[in-house]
Amino acid sequence: MSLSSDQIERLKVILKSKEKKYFIVHHNADVDAVAAAYVLYEISNPPRGLCAPLGISRLSRELMLRLNANIEILDKVPIEKDAFYFIIDTNSLEQIGDFPFYDIADRIIIIDHHSENPKFNSALLYIHEERSATCEIVYDILKAIGFSPNEKMAQAMISGIITDTARFRYANNRTIKVVCDLLDYLKGVDLKDIIRSLEEPSLKYDRGKRIAMVKAFQRMLYEDLGKVIIVKSFISAYEGDAAALMVSTVADIAVVGAQRDEEARVSVRVRPWLAERGIDASEICRDVAEEFGGGGGGHPMAAGINAVGDAEAIVNAVIARFKRKLKDLRI
């Protein structure tokens, strides 16, 4: 879907208004989310705030330092009369913590590139685009309202696109064109320097993460379905990294659960060839999450679930759904 003229006009009015604006990012917010929120924050008129109620990732913190972004990131979302709330880069309310969405839906703007969530249709504005990164949508917004980004904004958006496309592995022609356009706003920074700055150092230097990956593989169980190998595992942290590593090495579908007290988190990764055949991890995660009273979603190849309950039961339910879908598609 394309940005409508009505959406653009309403966005312009809100961004330029004197009402308070809060830009909210999801749990352990990645570079795409934080970069998109940073740019929207920068182009909006005060008063404004950037909120990360469930924290931001290490790479996101490093990005903000490199940009010398002098912005206080709030760990709580103040609920205020007449304020507007931008929810950035997520299609799951559980990803932003305890937030009264339905009570203030008429003051919420959602900007996201994940699978569409019908629950968000009650928001004041639901800007959902099929893009490789939310930063692509933000760039569309800037062009539509006639705003030229400065060098820091351009670098932030390029960084978000690089990370969400796995260094352009999942980028399409349009994505590359957006990056080329943004490069024109850079002066003293080269693309290769941005890519190097986004290299994840933790597998090299973070002993805890490395041990978590070892444990994930030690605990891994698999099912060989002929054409498809499905694996599952359980660790206490870094479940998304573990699932991604498994799919990049041995599995076609990886489902990794983490139990933290009563909270269950499940990360799912799927190889591209299965997504091309109709397997959609986000759809499966959203359906299973509803069964367990939680939230889920993401992309066809990368999705997750947050819920209160037993992580093992959720993982098994996800795998059962995948197996049914594989059978239906005759894969």
pLDDT at position 9 is: 93
State residue 202's pLDDT score: 47
The residues that bridge with 296 in the sheet, in sequence order, are: 305
Helix H, strand E, coil C: the string for 271-309 is CHHHHHCCCCHHHHHHHHHHHCCCEEEECCCEEEEEEEC
How far is the CA of 213 from the CAs of 18, 77, 236, 244, in angstroms?
48, 33, 11, 10
Residue keyed to tokens 């059978």: 327
What is the model's pLDDT at position 233? Answer: 98
Pairing relationship of beta strands 263-270 and 302-308 according to DSSP bridges: antiparallel
Confidence of residue 39 (pLDDT cuts 50, 70, 90): very high
- Helix 151-164 with 58-66: angle, nearest 10 deg: 160
Residue 12 burial (10 A CB sphere; 0-12, 13-18, 19+): middle
pLDDT of residue 34: 97
Please tell me the number of Cα atoms within 13 Å of 47 on its side-chain side: 7
Q: Which residues are within 8 A (CB) of 3 and not within 5 positions of it... i.e. 6 or more apart?
A: 127, 129, 140, 141, 144
Q: What is the pLDDT of residues 213-264, one digit of tens each?
A: 999 999 999 999 999 999 999 999 899 999 999 999 999 999 999 999 999 9
Query: In this predicted structure, what is the pLDDT of residue 117?
Result: 80
Res. 99 pLDDT band, cuts 50 70 90: confident
Q: Is the separation of the CB atoms in 38 and 11 below 8 Å?
A: no
Residues in CB range of 69: below 8 A, 6 or more apart: 38, 152
Q: Where does CATH 3.10.310.40 sit in the chain?
A: 205-328
Q: pLDDT tens digits for 293-303?
A: 998 888 889 99
Q: List strands edge to edge, sheet with 48-51.
A: 73-74, 48-51, 21-25, 84-88, 108-112, 125-128
The CATH 3.90.1640.10 portion of the chain extends over 5-197
Tokens of 13: 């009015």
User: Which parts of the chain fold into alpha helices (H)?
Assistant: 5-16, 31-43, 58-66, 134-145, 151-164, 173-183, 191-197, 202-205, 207-218, 239-249, 272-276, 281-291, 311-328
Q: Rounded to an integer, what distance in angstroms lies between the CA atom of residue 70 and that of residue 46?
A: 14
pLDDT at residue 201 greater than cutoff 70: no
pTM, two decimal places: 0.82
- d(CA 283, CA 298) in angstroms, rounded, equals 8
pLDDT the model gives residue 209: 86
Domain 5-197: CATH superfamily, name plus number: inorganic pyrophosphatase (n-terminal core) (3.90.1640.10)
| Cα–Cα distance, 225 to 325 (Å, whole number) | 13
What CATH code is assigned to 205-328? 3.10.310.40
Higher pLDDT, residue 63 or 118: 63
Separation of first and last alpha carbons in the chain: 30
Ramachandran bin of 261, using left for φ above 0, alpha for ψ from -120 to 50, beta for the remaining angles = left
